[in-house]
Amino acid sequence: MFPLQRNRRLRANESIRSLVRETTLSPNDFMLPMFIAEGKDVKVAIPSMPGIYRHSLDNTIKEIKEAWNLGIKAVNIYVKVSDHLKDNKGVEAWNKDGLMQQTIRAIKDAVPEMIVMPDVALDPYSIYGHDGIIENGQLINDATVDALTRMSLSHAEAGADFVAPSDMMDGRVLAIRKALEENGHHNVGIMSYSAKYASAFYGPFRDALDSAPVDSQNIPKDKKTYQMDYANRIEGIREALLDVEEGADIVMVKPGMAYLDIVREVKNAVHVPVAVYQVSGEYAMVKAAAEKGWLDHDKIMIEQLYCIKRAGANIISTYFAKEAAIILNK
């Protein structure tokens, strides 16, 4: 009761604020998403994501070393697949000499302690831009799970520390876990995109990989039959719990800022680390507003990352990782 309690005493200066601060943020919390392209000395800007590029493998290794020196311990990698390698079944996804597999090996050779979590989904490899195999205008769950399992095994054999299924097929975590165990990859973990919503925030990412669903009368125009309805809360918790039962070591909520209620609910429900993906649209919005002079870029960036951590995230996958690490390291 006032005046016995004056809460402003604990806000009087930065020293006391730092001393009683409930949430801390460091580069150890970040995972850096990276886009990989074919070729050599390639650095292609992504217009809808200022400051983000598709890098060829040689330049990717330079980026990896820079990230490691900043204190970033994990990367989530995605590949830009050439059109001639795309089909409906994603066969290139488990090519042992494919771009993703080459990238995993190169990163682990260059910086062995960097945690590599390659994306497991068929959309970069699909002629239809979907996360799975299409038959008669529908995405087929079980055949897709078989393809994802083969893809995951190829990642494990290339040296991935974790595989990261982002497809939202039913039963894929269990199938992947069984396959990893049966093939001796006992120490390869699974970071499952458990509560992945059908969000409009993904637009710039699809520009980066040229992986948007094709516009055709015979093909689903969006991903709402497998990604989650953003009106739902309990469904996200159920998905996370099921993935843990099936063997997920880490569960992810995606997107980030607009879904922090889901992050907290999932954090309260599971007993494994929770990752959050601050997605491309969230990144692009901050960049655009800052370019207009409407927001202070660095302050908004750090505030958002703190909010994600406060909500319960153990890992934050963010395109801001390097910029934020530089500020935090100071």
- 3-class secondary structure per residue, the chain: CCCCCCHHHHHCCHHHHHHHCCCCCCHHHEEEEEEECCCCCCEEECCCCCCCEEECHHHHHHHHHHHHHCCCCEEEEEECCCHHHCECCCHHHHCCCCHHHHHHHHHHHHCCCCEEEEEECCHHHECCCCCCEEECCEEEHHHHHHHHHHHHHHHHHHCCCEEEECCCCCCHHHHHHHHHHHCCCCCCEEEEEEEEECCHHHHHHHHHHCCCCCCCCCCCCCCCCCCECCCCCHHHHHHHHHHHHHCCCEEEEECCHHHHHHHHHHHHHCCCCEEEEECHHHHHHHHHHHHCCCCCHHHHHHHHHHHHHHHCCCEEEECCHHHHHHHHHC
Which residues, at least 6 apart from 23, have a Cβ–Cβ distance to it below 8 Å?
306, 309, 310
Range of the domain at 174: 30-329
pLDDT at 219: 85
What is the total count of domains within the chain?
1
Average pLDDT over residues 120-132: 94
Tell me, yes or no, whether 25 lies in a domain.
no
Q: Cα(252)–Cα(175) distance, rounded to whole angstroms?
A: 18
Tell me, yes or no, whether 287 lies in a domain.
yes
CATH number for the domain harbouring residue 117: 3.20.20.70
Asked whether residue 214 carries a pLDDT value surpassing 80, the answer given is no
251: tokens are 């569960």
Q: Is 239 annotated as a binding residue?
A: yes
Our answer to whether residue 287 is catalytic in this structure is: no
Asked whether residue 208 carries a pLDDT value surpassing 90, the answer given is no
Higher pLDDT, 204 or 110: 110
Q: Cα(103)–Cα(37) distance, rounded to whole angstroms?
A: 10
Task: Dump pLDDT digits (tens) for 160-184.
Answer: 999 999 999 999 999 999 999 999 9
Tell me, yes or no, whether 5 lies in a domain.
no
Largest CA distance in the chain: 73
Our answer to whether residue 96 is catalytic in this structure is: no
Tell me, yes or no, whether 12 lies in a domain.
no
pTM of the model: 0.95
Task: Dump pLDDT digits (tens) for 183-200.
Answer: 999 999 999 999 999 999
Tell me, yes or no, whether 6 lies in a domain.
no
Tell me, yes or no, whether 8 lies in a domain.
no
Task: Dump pLDDT digits (tens) for 247-256.
Answer: 999 999 999 9
Asked whether residue 217 carries a pLDDT value surpassing 70, the answer given is no
Task: Dump pLDDT digits (tens) for 7-45.
Answer: 999 999 999 999 999 999 999 999 999 999 999 999 999
Asked whether residue 211 carries a pLDDT value surpassing 70, the answer given is no
Catalytic residue among 80, 86, 196, 223: 196
Catalytic residue among 73, 223, 254, 267: 254
Nearest to 316 by CA among 308, 327, 324: 308
Tell me, yes or no, whether 166 lies in a domain.
yes
pLDDT at 194: 98
Average pLDDT over residues 222-228: 94
Task: Dump pLDDT digits (tens) for 264-293.
Answer: 999 999 999 999 999 999 999 999 999 999
Phi, psi for residue 175 in degrees, rounded to 5: -65, -45
